[in-house]
Amino acid sequence: CVCKVAPNSKDYHIQDVNRAGGIMGILKELADAGLLDTSVYRADGLTLAEAINKYDITKEVPDDEALDIYSSAPGNKRNLVMGSQNARYKELDSDRQNGCIRSVEHAYTKDGGLAILKGNIAQNGCVVKTAGVDESVWKFTGNAKVFHSQDDACMGILKNEVVAGDVVVIQYEGPKGGPGMQEMLYPTSYIKAKRLGEKCALITDGRFSGGTSGLSIGHISPEAAAGGNIALVRDGDTIEIDIPNRTINLKISDEELNNRRAEEEAKGENAFKPLRNRRVSQALQVYSHFVSSADKGAIRII
């Protein structure tokens, strides 16, 4: 990971990427480490190598065009053309050791910004944005606080039902269960607002945006509505998350897990369905019958 900005960094924001050389600056560091094929052509006719050199602000004599583009600062007014306002940075950020964009040698982390975890809650995997997780909670064990919807989870967090050490479990928000796999933005925002961002975890079969931070784990597959084990989690269960070893597990015996599944399946037509009232359009009802799990891309299977 050679670049981090808010909410994954307290020091840098998106405008700092531009001051440090923009996307071309990031590509240069990857190219210097031999991680890119720079012989490919761009739409403007330049090879990637030529473009990187043209817009490189770290070389001894940067091109005037590059200096003009990357010294463009926020002008506090709407504009469609970068640099069309008069605001300019006094100096650019070319520090590749401690700056916003770093060399591979001085990378924030040697791993990428995402990790796939697997375990008895997510046999087919789930996704965590490690770039947004403080390393102090890369290993986390907590007690489950279960909700059947994003709305219920939000109310629980705002009413202080979620405390330090809890793992918020949001079930039935996956592609089939939602249906539609909506973004779980509000619960993570409220957890952060309650100053629990480094004291709690959140797991769900729903999804997250790129703006999510904290120990937020989504895309759990199989999802609850498809009979996934996340549907069998109950309040108070112990959940163990281990990012370094890429595991996530519900700490109950296989016998107990099987008993819970038998209990759920005994509900017949009501098995693996959420306890909530939600109006669902006919189009989404049809979608829910054909959609695949998140680990298969949440595409329709026809």
Which residues are designated catalytic? Answer: 209
| Most distant CA pair in the chain, distance | 73
Question: How many angstroms separate the CA atoms of 52 and 66, rounded?
Answer: 10
Which backbone phi and psi does 218 adopt, to 5 degrees?
-125, -175
Alpha-carbon separation of residue 94 from 60, 70, 101, 218 (angstroms):
11, 11, 8, 36
Which of 53, 60, 4 is closest to 25 using CA atoms?
A: 53
Contact 58, 99 (CB under 8 A): no
Q: Which residues pair with 168 in a beta bridge?
A: 145, 202
Question: How many angstroms separate the CA atoms of 227 and 215, rounded?
Answer: 24
Q: Which residues pair with 216 in a beta bridge?
A: 202
Work out the number of other CB atoms within 10 angstroms of the CB of residue 234: 12
| Cβ neighbours of residue 80 closer than 8 Å, sequence gap 6 or more | none
DSSP 3-state assignment of 49?
helix
- Tokens standing for residue 199: 């004291």
